[in-house]
């Protein structure tokens, strides 16, 4: 269902982002493993937003099929590649062989070679940045846009909140479009982030709560009942011997089991039974599997309930078109209010 709105102020402030993405509205649906499939990409695309296909750690042949489905839409979208996923090298090969409009590097900062390889295949690139120096490095590597994701977000996260990232990176006016994410769930927030200079806003948890999202009903119901403080980040027991990327999710047995896994892996590292790289892969394999148990199978006790703190700002499931209309209309109303104040 198409969403046609008269929002001149949102359109003006979001023009750099919509021009870059090739869409009507500066709203991105984040790449969420086992959630952001081609059907969610289509739902967002049909409403005028920018959908992201999450590669996660899916088999390469399945990723190729999902890309074909997204290409059939005839519109703009991105593939999110997790650089720390076991299948990342194979995934990169797939996107190079396919006609993908934009590739977003997630999980860790991509190497120059990876950026150049993807760009040589004709794709635009986007990567995350946690400081202005990293932003400048990624721009030197050739990325076409940056994404600032605060620690309020769900799934794999950094350690810095969006309010700090805005000041560390966005306010320095990098030479490429800068999109922002983490804790965003209202049109008012979108309005103020656009005023600050953001090219657009990415949301994940907000779009999980859409009717079109294929996540299990139990998964969505748990989100609807959750409070913001229940979405916590995982601790790292030993950042030197076993550096792991923090994950934000709702507390349950799955989070406890991750702590047990870290302790077991550290013991194996001490005994020499396993190397650090292998231990890190086992961590990622755990999250990929645990998330599938929750999203696909509906196991909300032992599965991973990856969610941003914005989960506390929503309590109902809506049609995607209604989400877009609510967000964008509220953003336009807020911009009108601010204009009158000034």
CA of residue 127 relative to chain centroid, distance: 11
Examine the pLDDT at 72 and tell me if it is beyond 90. Answer: yes
Report residue 260: phi and psi, to 5°: -60, -40
Write out pLDDT tens, residues 86-125: 899 999 999 999 989 999 999 889 999 999 999 999 999 9
Examine the pLDDT at 2 and tell me if it is beyond 80. Answer: no
Q: Are 41 and 31 in contact (CB under 8 A)?
A: no
- Mean of all residue pLDDT scores within the chain: 94
User: What's the Cα-to-Cα distance from 168 to each of 35, 157, 160, 288, rounded to whole Å?
Assistant: 31, 17, 10, 31
Q: Are 277 and 337 in contact (CB under 8 A)?
A: no
**What integer is the mean pLDDT of 9-37?**
97
- Bridge partners of 43, per DSSP, are none
8-215+313-341 belongs to CATH 3.20.20.70: yes
Examine the pLDDT at 71 and tell me if it is beyond 90. Answer: yes
Q: How crowded is residue 124: how many other Cβ atoms within 10 Å of its Cβ?
A: 19
Write out pLDDT tens, residues 138-157: 999 999 999 999 999 999 88
Examine the pLDDT at 54 and tell me if it is beyond 70. Answer: yes
CA 208 – CA 136 distance, rounded (Å):
32
Q: In the structure, what pLDDT confidence band is assigned to residue 307 with cuts at 50, 70 and 90?
A: very high
Percent of the chain topping pLDDT 90: 82
Q: In the structure, what pLDDT confidence band is assigned to residue 211 with cuts at 50, 70 and 90?
A: very high
Examine the pLDDT at 202 and tell me if it is beyond 70. Answer: yes
Q: How crowded is residue 198: how many other Cβ atoms within 10 Å of its Cβ?
A: 26
74 against 214, higher pLDDT: 214
Looking at residue 238, the DSSP 8-state letter turns out to be -
Examine the pLDDT at 1 and tell me if it is beyond 70. Answer: no
Domain boundaries, the chain: 8-215+313-341, 217-295
Instruction: Judge residue 108's burial from the number of C-beta atoms within 10 Å of its C-beta, 0-12 exposed, 13-18 middle, 19 or more buried.
Output: middle
CA 207 – CA 43 distance, rounded (Å):
10
pLDDT (0 to 100) of residue 121: 96
pLDDT (0 to 100) of residue 31: 95
pLDDT (0 to 100) of residue 293: 94
Q: In the structure, what pLDDT confidence band is assigned to residue 29 with cuts at 50, 70 and 90?
A: very high
pLDDT (0 to 100) of residue 270: 92
CA 39 – CA 45 distance, rounded (Å):
10
CA 311 – CA 299 distance, rounded (Å):
18
pLDDT (0 to 100) of residue 163: 96
CA 77 – CA 58 distance, rounded (Å):
18
**What integer is the mean pLDDT of 153-162?**
92
CA 279 – CA 151 distance, rounded (Å):
24
**Predicted structure pTM score:** 0.94
Q: In the structure, what pLDDT confidence band is assigned to residue 240 with cuts at 50, 70 and 90?
A: confident
């Amino acid at each position: 269902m198409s969403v046609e709105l008269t929002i001149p102020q949102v359109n003006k402030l979001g023009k750099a982002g919509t021009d870059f993405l090739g869409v009507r509205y500066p709203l991105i649906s984040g790449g969420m493993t086992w959630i952001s499939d081609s059907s969610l990409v289509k739902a967002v695309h049909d409403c005028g937003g920018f959908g992201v296909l999450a590669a996660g750690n899916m088999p390469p042949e399945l990723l190729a099929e999902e890309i074909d489905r997204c290409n059939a839409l005839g519109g703009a979208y991105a593939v999110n590649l997790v650089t720390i996923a076991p299948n990342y090298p194979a995934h990169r090969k797939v996107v190079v062989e396919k006609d993908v409009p934009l590739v977003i590097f997630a999980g860790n900062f991509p190497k120059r070679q990876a950026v150049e390889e993807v760009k040589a295949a004709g794709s635009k690139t986007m990567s995350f940045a946690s400081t202005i120096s990293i932003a400048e490095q990624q721009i030197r590597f050739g990325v076409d846009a940056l994404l600032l994701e605060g620690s309020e977000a769900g799934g794999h996260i950094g350690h810095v909140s969006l309010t700090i990232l805005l000041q560390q990176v966005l306010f320095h006016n990098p030479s490429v479009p800068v999109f922002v994410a983490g804790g965003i769930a209202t049109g008012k927030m979108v309005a103020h982030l656009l005023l600050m200079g953001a090219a657009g806003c990415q949301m994940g948890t907000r779009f999980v709560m859409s009717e079109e999202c294929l996540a299990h009903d139990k998964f969505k119901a748990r989100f609807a009942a959750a409070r913001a403080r229940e979405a916590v980040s995982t601790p790292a027991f030993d950042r030197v011997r076993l550096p792991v990327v923090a994950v934000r999710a709702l507390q349950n047995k799955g989070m406890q089991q991750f702590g047990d896994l870290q302790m077991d892996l550290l013991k194996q590292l001490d005994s020499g039974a396993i190397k650090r790289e292998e231990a890190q892969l086992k961590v990622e394999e755990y999250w990929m599997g645990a998330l599938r148990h929750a999203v696909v199978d509906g196991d909300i006790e032992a599965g991973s309930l990856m969610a941003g703190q914005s989960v506390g700002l929503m309590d109902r499931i809506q049609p995607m078109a209604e989400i877009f209309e609510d967000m964008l209309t509220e953003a336009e109303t807020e911009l009108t209010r601010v204009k009158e104040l000034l």
